[in-house]
Chain A
Amino acid sequence: MKRAWSLILAFLLAASALAACSGGKNNDGGGGASDGASGGSGKRVKLTAIMTKHPLTKPFAEMEWLQAAEERAGVEIEWEEVTADWGQKKGALLSSGDIPDLIIGPNAITDADIAMFPGLFQDLRDLIESYGPNVKAMFEAKPETRVLAAQMDGSIYGLPKYQRFWPATVTRQYINQQWLDNLGLKMPTTWDELFDVLVAFKEQDANGNGDPNDEIPMDFAPVGTGGFGFFHPTVLLGSTGITLTNASGQGYFMEDGAVKNFFVDERYKRFVQFLAKCYAAGLINSEVFTQDYTKFQSVARGEGNTAKVGFTWGWEVTDRFGNTLAPQYTSMAPLRETADSDVQVSWDYTYDALNYGVNMVVMSARSKNKEAAMRFINELYDPVVSMQVLFGSIGPNIKDNGDGSYEVLPPADPAMDPGTWKWTSTWADNGPMYIADDLVLTLGTDMQSVGAQTEPLMPALNAIDKENDVLPTMFIKYTPEDNSTLALNNTNLMNLAMAKFSQWVTAGGIEQEWDSYVKEAERTGLPQNLEIIQRYVDEYKRNQ
């Protein structure tokens, strides 16, 4: 017994000793009011806010532009910086009605939340009229932002963002040019040519290191159980004429104004057959369905100067392959399905998802300081401030040229890449912003190279009929009932489709199973979903 007591005592002593320990980086994000500009700046309204930030982002107290913006708006914000598990926190928070004045973050509060908790969030229309001139300017210059913001009855609860500079697609296609040169091959332009090139990669020691078996001809990002996403081989569907919208994760795309789903389309069947042929020939990484994203990226970085991967998809060449191997790769144009295919090739049109965002900031209806909160929000939508929300403060991150133009500076740490630097310094893509089209800003090297690498895809992207072949689901708001139906049916469909996709690619069997699979897909509720989405799309077009 005595032993136990002395143990407890020892622990309590240890605890108080540790309380005295400090030193090193202070990663204390929030809890106390932001310091910096608070000394003697007159009476500032105190607000509370939550922001879902990226894990790399530094504490808000260290962001110069933010402190300045708060000061100009006459507010002092107590931030709670959430990096993980927002979904778990959100439920209890919203149900108890215990929310702060502002909640900021990309779709941190979804339309479903707004519908489920009426009266909890503030309708911002009047406040925008009186205190939000920058927001009004954005609505006027870019009417689609107003569409993003408005609920079906015209009320506005969440404000959007517009980033302007991002490319028209998120996925670029890369092939190892050095390997092509080593083996004397031409750049492939059709699926069959690609197949032959990949076979050559596999059999002829393409990386020239003496080991003919260490090449991985094709690799792609891990496919989730909830559907496809970025950097997946689904972009090959563009060769068949299908235009993907925002990666078409659940298969929905638009063709000539009609809403369709590629999971039950003949062209998807041919696409899977092509992949199965490649896999059977040993051309695809055998761990493609079991490796995680870290491993996927690690493999592409090869060993020293020796590359391992021949053909793949990614965001940008240094991000995908690392600085050492990046020069070996070139970005490619979309392939044609066959040599005599005359279909206009397409790609994944991700412009909307990359440049727009919905519900970036919402306000509590129970806030006692709505005008002050709106004034702060207004500061964020000033294009010069927005620029800093995205890239970092003027000074360390952005250079003011003095003539109304600006320039994004390279990272202070030369070992760091511009993307990480952006995410570390500021809210980046997670914040509300309006990058006006007439703002003169020279971008950093990463954004410029992304633009350069997208060049081969531009003919196909420019040929897309945005009216009839791009699905405008980002701009559509569903009723809670329809949203629920869509979600439940999609869960069923994805469970079936994704399992079949990986099974057919690795083990074959698509010819035998295709017909029963299509029937099965109907049972998941897919026709119901297509009908619902078509209805909303038609309504959206009528109101344009």
Chain B
Amino acid sequence: MAQATQTAAGAVRTAAGPGRRRSAWQTFKRDRQLWIMILPAIVVILLFNYVPMYGIQLAFRDYDFTKGLTGGEWRGLYYFRQFIDSYMFADIMRNTVTISLATILLGFPAPIILALILNQVRWKRGKKMLQTVVYMPHFISIVVLVGLLNVLLSPNTGIVGYLLRSMGYEINLLASTSAFVPVYVLSDIWQHCGWNSIIYLAALSTVDPQLYDSAKIDGAGKWQTMRHIDLPAIAPTIMILFILSMGGVLTTGFEKIFLMQNTLNLPVSEVISTYVYKIGILSNQFSYSAAIGLFNTVINFFFLFVTNQIARRVSNISLW
């Protein structure tokens, strides 16, 4: 009891005295409950993420099994240069950026729009049914999804191919270089939009119904309600998730592209991850692939960092 009073009093005292700085130890004591709460997470992250981090230097060294991961000959930026100078560098960078940017640009707003639409549905049972159906594709494994695409989009025998042909388009969706990115991105949205909208729906569910009532009293239409109540309610979530997605500008995933690749779409479908896979098939390229991976993540992190700084200036919402 006494301690609590002192804490409250201490808070008041600090608020009252603007020039007074507390020592680090006193801050620590004040926040000690918070430190205890965060300690398990710190231990886990330090142990499983930071301890193995010494492996990053494999990008700068040759791999020497007899001397362990840290004993190989130091090569500095050799493997990075090898990648940047390589014959395929320009193509795979261009393809990777195209695919991942298209995925972000189209794939980011889609779940938000879906959540806003679903939130407006009044018919409870219909809403539940639609919600359940819409998140189901998320669970289809990639192997099966690509198999589905091959069957449904086949120009001669697939239903989508049939529909397109009856509308007059002669395009082979599985083959043409211009169709690869749209098919990839749209099937991605189809698969994950529902699942990704769950978080926005949850955010929308925390909106105080009193706000809706007062809006009605003020005569606001549904569209205005959505603009002025729903959107601001999920704005922090949108902001944070957007910053995080900018950390994926060079990330495309491997399995789906690898399965969708064929010789006809190869000029646009060869990306960093498939390249790393191919060079490793018959020759062990530990250092080279570590270097490529590090190159990849440094660029990703840079984009995340910049986006975070901008977000902090522009709004009050940021990662750190």
Contacts and interface: CB of A to CB of B under 8 A. Distances in A.
A110 B65 CA distance: 16
Contact of A525 (B87, B91, B261, B270): B87
Interface stretch (B41-49, B126-134, B148-156, B199-207): B148-156
Contacts of B285: 484, 487-488
A112 B282 contact: yes
A258 interface: no
B283 A484 contact: yes
B263 A491 contact: no
Given A286-B155, A491-B275, A495-B88, A118 B66 contact: yes
A503 B279 contact: no
Interface in B273-310: 275, 278-279, 281-286
Contacts of A289: 175, 262-264
A222 B270 CA distance: 18
Interface in A502-542: 502-503, 506, 523-525
A487 B87 contact: no
B232 interface: no
Nearest to A481: B283
Given A113-B284, A491-B275, A225 B262 contact: yes
A116 B172 CA distance: 44
A225 B283 contact: no
A501 B267 CA distance: 12
B86 interface: yes
Contacts of B155: 286-287, 290
B266 interface: yes
A329 to B, nearest CB: 23
Given A487-B279, A491-B275, A290 B266 contact: no
A285 B85 CA distance: 39
A119 interface: yes
Contacts of B264: 289-290, 499, 502-503, 506
Interface in A277-325: 286-287, 289-292, 295
Contacts of B195: none
Interface residues of B, number: 32
B63 interface: yes
Give the residue among B147, B264, B278 with the most A Cβ atoms within 10 A: B264
Given A487-B279, A495-B266, A117 B150 contact: no
B66 A501 contact: no
A290 B282 contact: no
B88 A290 contact: no
B282 A487 contact: yes
B189 interface: no
A524 B172 CA distance: 30
A100 interface: no
Contact of A225 (B63, B174, B261, B282): B261
A197 interface: no
Contacts of B156: 286-287
For chain A, which range describes its interface: under 10, 10 to 19, 20 to 34, or 35 or more residues? 35 or more
Contacts of A287: 154-156, 172
B279 A491 contact: yes
A95 B150 contact: no
A486 B281 CA distance: 12
B263 A488 contact: no
Nearest to B65: A117
Given A287-B156, A525-B87, A487 B283 contact: yes
B66 A290 contact: no
Contacts of A223: 263
B154 A290 contact: yes
Interface in B220-272: 261-264, 266-267, 270
A177 interface: no
A226 interface: yes
A120 B282 contact: no
A226 B262 CA distance: 10
B22 to A, nearest CB: 37
Interface in A386-419: none
Interface string A154-189: 000000000000000000000000000000000000
Nearest to B267: A499
A79 to B, nearest CB: 26
B278 A491 contact: yes
B265 to A, nearest CB: 9
A48 interface: no
Contacts of A503: 264
A328 interface: no
A295 to B, nearest CB: 7
B65 A118 contact: yes
B174 A483 contact: no
A424 interface: no
A498 B261 CA distance: 12
A116 B175 CA distance: 39
Given A119-B65, A525-B87, A225 B175 contact: no
A252 to B, nearest CB: 14
B263 A498 contact: yes
Contact of B270 (A483, A495, A502): A495
Interface of A: 87, 95, 110, 112-113, 116-120, 222-226, 286-287, 289-292, 295, 480, 483-484, 486-488, 491-492, 495, 498-499, 501-503, 506, 523-525
5 smallest CB-CB distances across A and B, nearest first, come from A502-B263, A487-B283, A290-B174, A499-B266, A492-B87
Given A225-B263, A499-B263, 9 more contacts: A117-B65, A118-B65, A118-B66, A119-B65, A225-B270, A287-B156, A290-B154, A295-B150, A523-B87
11 contacts: A286-B172, A287-B155, A289-B175, A289-B263, A483-B282, A487-B279, A488-B285, A495-B270, A498-B263, A501-B263, A506-B175
Interface of B: 63, 65-66, 69, 86-88, 91, 147, 150, 154-156, 172, 174-175, 261-264, 266-267, 270, 275, 278-279, 281-286
